[in-house]
Structures are given as C-alpha cells and as structure tokens.
Structure 1
Amino acid sequence: MASTNMKQICAKCNKGGGIAMCHGCQQSFCTKHFVEHRQELSQQIDHIGQEHDLLRQDLSREENIDSFLVHIDQWEQESIKTIQTCAQNARTTFQQLHNQTKNELKISFDKLTQEIRDYRESYDYTEVDIIKWIDTLKELRQIIERPSIIRIDYDNNITSAVKLIKVTGPPHSMLSFTQEKRSNENNNCTNEQMIASPSEKFSESFGDIELSTDGLSGRCLSSRWDGSCISGMGRYSSKIHYIRFRIENKTSNYWFFGIITASQQLTSSISAVQSACGWWDLGYIVVNGKTKDGNRTKTMNSGDEVTLILDCDNRLIQLQHHGRNALVGIQIDLEQCPFPWKLVIRLDSEHDCVKIVH
C-alpha cells in the first residue's frame, strides 16, 4: 500500500516547511517563523505587563477627590447658611406673632376695663351688659390659659433634602374692612360668583312679628323681651349673595343682623345660639353665639339701608351701611355654623320694621 507524506504550510512564508504547530492560534510555522511568533507573543505579554503596572499606579492616585470634597464642603456651608437664615426668620416671625397676640389681648382688656368703669360710674348697665362682660372675661381667660395658637410646621412647599420650617399664626375670626378694600375684592369676582338675591323673602318668625303678604317686610308688635326675630327663605352654601334691607322704623337701640345654620329653629335668644354670627347694630360683634367687645354708638336709624353680604366661597359674612359708608366682616367657622346658612334679624321694640329691598 502506498502512502503520501503531506507537509504543512508555514503560516508566515507559505512554504512547505511547517514543522511546528502553535496550539494557541492553531497555525503551523517553519522553524524560523515559529521563533518569531514566540517573540511576538513575548512582546505582547510585556505590553500587557506595562499596562497592568500603569493601571496599578492610577488606582493608587486620588487626583479628582479634592474637587469633589470641595464641592461637598461648599454644599455643607450653603445648607448651614440656609438653615440659619430660616431659623432666624422663624424666630422673628414668632416674636412678632407673640407680641401681636399679647398687644391685642392688652388692648381688649384695657377696653373692657374702661367700659366697666364707665358703666359703674354712670350706673347705666343691665343684665345684658353683665352677661356680656362675664363672657368676655371667660374668653380672655381661655386665651391666656390655653396652649399657644402659634404653630411651627415644616414647609412642604420647598423641595429640599433638608426640610425647612415656618411659623404661622392663627386666622383672625373677626375682620374690619374698608370700603376701598371691598371694592377691590368685588372687582376680582366673576358675575357668576356675585349674586343679588331678588327671590329672598321673610318666611319664618318667632314672637310677636307680623310679616307682609309679599314676605318682604316684618314688623315687631311687642317689646324687646319677647325675643321677636325673623329669618329668610333663602339657603346659602356657595357663591356671593347680596341682600339689601331698608330700616322702615327703628325705635330701639339695637337690632341683630346676621346668619344661623338653616337647621336652627328660631328662639327668643336667637343671637345666643351656637351658629349665630352677626352684629348688634354695627357696634357689637356676635361670633358663634357670643357677643364680642364693641361700642354703644348707635349707627342704624330709621330710613337707613344696609346690605348683608354672604360670601360662602370665602366663608365670610359682611354688613355694609350705605349711609355711613361702613363695612364690617366676620370669618365663619363652618364647624360652628355649617352650610347652608339663612339670614336672621332680631327686632327689639314695638313698631320696629325692616324691609327687603329688591
């Protein structure tokens, strides 16, 4: 049997002298080129060794760390400065609110002191005045003894890793408004928000009251001790409503204009029920059935016209005296006087008469 001896070709010179096989690249080389191939591999591994050593050196160096640390230090100082500024603002706001509350209490107390002194000297006081003074003293005592109504909260309106704080005071329950301010507020309201109430009529009465057949007027037929009062048929829980009245005849010192929650039945002491908010004349403010400090100046007379404004959207009622260009307001607590509201008027003496003007 004959056999053929096939020589391998050298991968470098392409000649038939390939006597050595590289098991890495699976190629055959002649003696000369096999030695060169091994030398090339040696050079490559030397290069790898150099790259390895350079990488080791780079890993040992910390060239960029300083710039990052400087940035962190800068952030730290800026954050501390921001917190210190916020803290100082909070201290200032707290001190202002504290002083304001303290001054308001002092003014109220001094006013009460002078009023009691004047009445005692003139001997011109009744049970109504005594009850009012007792209620005022109790309220001042409660304000002094109860925990502070100033709050410290986190300011959630600021997006930050560090939550900043803010100091807030209590909302005022009684407000005084100038005619100019009310005019500006009305300019910001849409026609849909401002609604006159042409359909408003008197529908309920308590005591010796005579209502007209059209429901637009009510007349008191007896003395003030009867507790005579009337309420409207309207129910108010949204938007702004205007109800205008003319004082047809007024012989007593004080009338009560205001609101109560619609579910409240009329009683002889309607201004003392929990939901009652309004005014005795313009001098005394009634909030949640309690009469606040005021003055005895008579401001409403026969022939005067006033408008009761029910701003349901802002939980506010106002009473405007057109002749005196005066406007007073009360912020309503819906927990004490929930929607819907209805208007209520207390007449004090015989022949007192009020009319709704459309």
Structure 2
Amino acid sequence: MAEEKICVKCKKIESAAKCYGCQQSYCIPHFLKHRLYLAQKMDALQDEHENLQKEVDENNYEQSFLSSIDTWERRAIRKIHDIAEKARNDIQEFIEKRKDQIKISLNNLCSNFNTTGKSDNYTEIEIDKWTKQLSELRHSLENPTNISIVEDRKTSSTIRGIKVIEQQEQEQLLCSNLISQTNNQKSEVLIEPIQEHFVPMYGPCTLSEDKCLVKHSSYRAGLSQISGFNNYSSGKHSIVFLIENKGPKNIFIGIHSTSKEVSSSTYDRSIYGWWNLDYVIMNGDNVDGNNSKEIIQTGDKITLIIDCDNQQILFEHHRIKKLVHLPVVISDCPFPWQILIRLVNSGPVLIRGLTEIVERRPNDPIEYLATFLYKQVQNTRAQKKKEEEAKQLELERQQAEEEKQHRAQLKNEIRALREQEENERKQREAEEKRKRDAEELARRHKELAAAPPPLPAVREEDDVFVVEFGETELHRQAAVQNANLSELLRDNYHSIASRNAEGKTPRDVALDAGLQENVDQIDTFCVQLLQNGNTKAINDLLLCGYTEIINQLKTIEDTDEDTNDFINNEIPQLLGKIKQLNQAIKDGDIETVDTMISDRKNFALYRDSEGSSSLHDAIENRQYNIALSLLQKYPSLALVKDIRDRASLDLLNSIDEDTITDEQRDAYDQLKEALISTSAGQQND
C-alpha cells in the first residue's frame, strides 16, 4: 500500500506534489501558491541584483574614505589652533606676571626717589645705581630670558605641539654664585632617557651579569670608583639609580671628564657631583656642605640629569622631592663627560678616621683624628639611646593600639546590642502592621461582599470562552474569614483565573489576608477538577494565565497513567504553544498565527498575568495585519480589557500616529475603523 501524503498546509490526505527544495508535500492548490511564493522571491532576488549592479556603476564609494580624511584634517587643524591659542595665553600670562614684578620694583625705586629727593641727600653714586636699575628693568621687560618656546617632544602624534615653559630663576645662591638650589620645585625640562651600565675603574667592586648592579666587595675600608659606559657631549640625559643597600658611608654620584689625564687615582680635578645632597664636589674639591648627614638611604631612588646644552648637572632625590643644580666649568671639566660613582666601605672606626684624613687632607691630622674618634663615641651612644627610645616608643604605640582596639570592640558590642534591639522593635511593628492590614482588608472585602454581584465572568461564544478580568464575587469572599467558597467555585470556576486591578487572583487575595483555609479551598477545587476528569476546565484556566494551578496539580498522589501524561506532557505542550503563538505575533509571522489558530481557535483567546489578550499583544508590537485578522475572526476580543481597564481601541489610540510608517498606514486605518465599529456593535448587543 502506497504511503499517504499529507499537505503540510491544510493537513488533508490527498494526492499531493512534493517540493524537492523544502522537502514538503502540498495539495495542488497549496503547491501552486508555494510555486508562486518562490517566483516572487526569485523576482525580488533579481531586483536586488540589478540594484546592486546599478550602485556599483553609479556610486562613488571612495567618498566615505575621503570624508574621513577631511574630518581628520579638520580635527588636526583645530588641535593646532587649540595648542597655539594655549601658547598665546601662556605667553600673555607670563608677560603680565613679569610686568607685575617690574611694577613692584618701579614702585620701590620711586619710593627711594621721593625719600632721597625730599632730603636732598643724593650723589652721582645713587643716580648711577638708579640708572642701572632702570636699565636692567627695561632689559628684563623687553628681553625676558626665563621664557622660551620649545617643541613638545612628549607628544606621540606626527604633528608635534609646542609649549611655553618658564625656567626657574636662581633665587638662592651659594658658594660665589656657582651653585643654584631649589627645594620642592621641579623645573620642566625635556630629557632623553639613556641606557647605561657600569665600568670598574679601580678598587674592590663586583658587577652583575648585565653590569647594571655594582657593590663594594671588600669587608675592609677602601674606595671603589666606577664610571659609566657612555660619553655625553650634547643634549639632556637622565640616568636613574636605585640604592639597594647602603652602609654608614655616603655614596658619591656625579661626572668626570674623559678628555683629561688623571695624575692620581684618588684625586681628579674634573670631578663634579655630590657625596650628599648638601656635600658638593666641584673641580675635585669640596665647596660646600656636610658629609656627616645621611640623606641618601637604602631603597632611595636617585635621578642624575646630565644637561650638556646648559653645561650643568642635576641631582633629583625622589623620596624627599628635592632637586639640586650644579653648574659645570667647561675649562675644568671639558666634554665628553662620563658618570662617576664612588663606593666607600668604612671598616673599623680607626681605619674610617684615617680614610677621612686621606680624603679631606686637614691641616692637623692628629687633632682631626681625635675629634673624629670622639664624635664616633658620641654617635654610638646617641644611636644606642635612639634605639632604646624607639623601642620604648614602639612599646607605647602597641599599648595604645591595643587600648584603641579594646575601645573599638566595646563600641562594636554596644552598637550590635542596639541594632538587635532596633531590629526586634521593627519586627514587632511590622507584625502589628500586618495584622492591622489583614483586618482592614477583611473589613473592606466584607463591605464589598454586601454590594450587588458583578456581571457573569464568562461568556460562551461558539465554544470559545472569554474570561472578564476585574473584581469578582470570588475575590471578595476570598478575603472573608470562614467563607464557604464551594458554591461560587462550582457556579463559575473561570473566576479562579480572574485578576483585579492589582493583578491578583482570588487565591492571591486570600494569601494577602492570611486566610490559608480559603487558599486550601481554591487549591482543593482545582485538584478535584482534574480528578473528576475535567481537563477542559484545566486548559481553560491555563489559557487565562492561571499557571499557579500546575504546582497544585503536582501534589496529587496515586495518579493514573492518563493523569500523569496530562500533567507532565499535555500541559507543558499547551503552555509551549501559547508561548509560540505569542512569539509569532511579536515577530509578525501571520502565517504561523493563522495555522495555530486554525488548529485550535481557543489559542487566540489566551490572557497573560497582566490581562493582555492576543489582540493587545499584536497592537502593542505594531503588527496591525495580524491584529486585523484576529479581530475579524474573534470580534469579542475588541471588548477584552486588561487589568488596567484598557481595551484594544484604547491601546491603539495611545499610539502616536506620526510614528506610523507608510507600509503600516492602510492596516492601521482598517484596524481602527474595525475596532470602532465592532466595539459599538458589541456594546449595542
């Protein structure tokens, strides 16, 4: 016997043609429609091909790239304008600042004029001095040497910006105007970082494999001298040092000239640098400072800046944020320069004293050594006392910390007790409020129970039921204590799924009122519906969005095979199809919607937890063709209202007509006219 073929559209068994593309069978009418659908898609494909060919021939696609380049050009020009404007503003600010300084000097000078002129107590000396001061002020105004315009090399783009910088003036001069020092200020300089490594010159020292770490390698007293590898004759360069471990002696960091011959391994007149921030070496000799201070410590980060262009070196101490300048006399220390490091191991006290004598060469070595030894004894005693005081301070600090923690613990315990009391008070108030609300709800529902009964909650239309949402008699009685709900449930079981304006079913109302006996009556009635074989009532309640019934049905014990199959298979399938229909409406798939409704017309009358129907969903998703089709098949949907008392016409009227597209306009107008007509007709009936 030949296998029967079923048309995939109408589901009728008859002679059918098969499409070898989609592998589906059709009856002759539906096969012709299917071929017509394919022909339309082929025509659309040809039109798309012709349109694309036309665009390739006519459109200028490089225009978008040229527009991007033009945009970049405008942004770059705008950025240049912004940088230039900022530089102009900076120049104006610096000039105004300079003018203010000159005005102050002129006022002071004028005061001197007036005071001296009134007393007639001036000579050529005062006149020459004032003339020179006026000349210097004029020159300072016309030629400000502390302002320059430089290219901003930090800018990473191809077009470099410029910026205006103000160099720090020498405010504090030490040692015959040779050394300039500025504390807690960092001049902005353009520095080129450089790669360096150490090269031993003499003395006991050890280098790491990469030659970037050097340490003194002898336990005895001695001097180790190490140079850098690179030579510096131009530009600005920065070398960063990290002091990983430091002994009691200071470390020398500086430069020396590689073009001059050194007659002594311990004395080089081209050396410039620092044994300490306050102990300066120029031309090989100490010119200022005290080397006894230990400003540089283990873990410090030091930056040596070699400024060949301005013939100076800079020493930056990052921890204390201090920057020291040291001018270099080129005749004493000609280019090229190299960095120079000196490490000293102190050794025993006597040897350290002798080393100091060799380094400093005092006039009276014996007196110097005696003073040195005496100071060492004092330093040792002071250090011991300092350590004892530090221990005592640490002990007191720990005791204070323990006391602080104890007080904090007490505060936390007191706070916890207060919070516990406050929480208990709030719980008592919440319980009392819940009881009052339950009593008020019961009272209100008793008053509503005395009101006239509402209209019937269910209308039968050709075996199609429509549940009207709103406040029902079952809602009112569910909030009444010791109420008998059996008669109401038997007369109109559909009201179980009705929802009031708050979206609550009668079961929800009973739960809010704290009446578990009323909840049990509703749940028991739903279970009895299935036990009595009334699966249609269960399906009706599910279509109305009353999915709470599923948990109630699963409590049934000793169910037969048919009941189990209904609970575990048929109900999930029903809910899945409702969800599928809802999704098809949202997607605008009118073919799937028509197919599903034709299989089971009740699907079109589903309601969700908000009371929205299929017609509500179609209008809300602007699927006006589907909405018009649903309305034509089920006119009663026009009167269905959601929990917010909105009919489909109300929802359609809330849409801004300016947002309706030309493609939607015809279907929108037809739907609106049909809703108005259907609503009027239904109300008259």
Q: TM-score, normalised by structure 2?
A: 0.25
Higher-strand-fraction structure: 1
Query: Computing the radius of gyration over CA atoms, which structure comes out larger, 1 or 2?
Result: 2
Higher relative contact order (CA 8 A, sep 6+): 1
Q: TM-score, normalised by structure 1?
A: 0.47
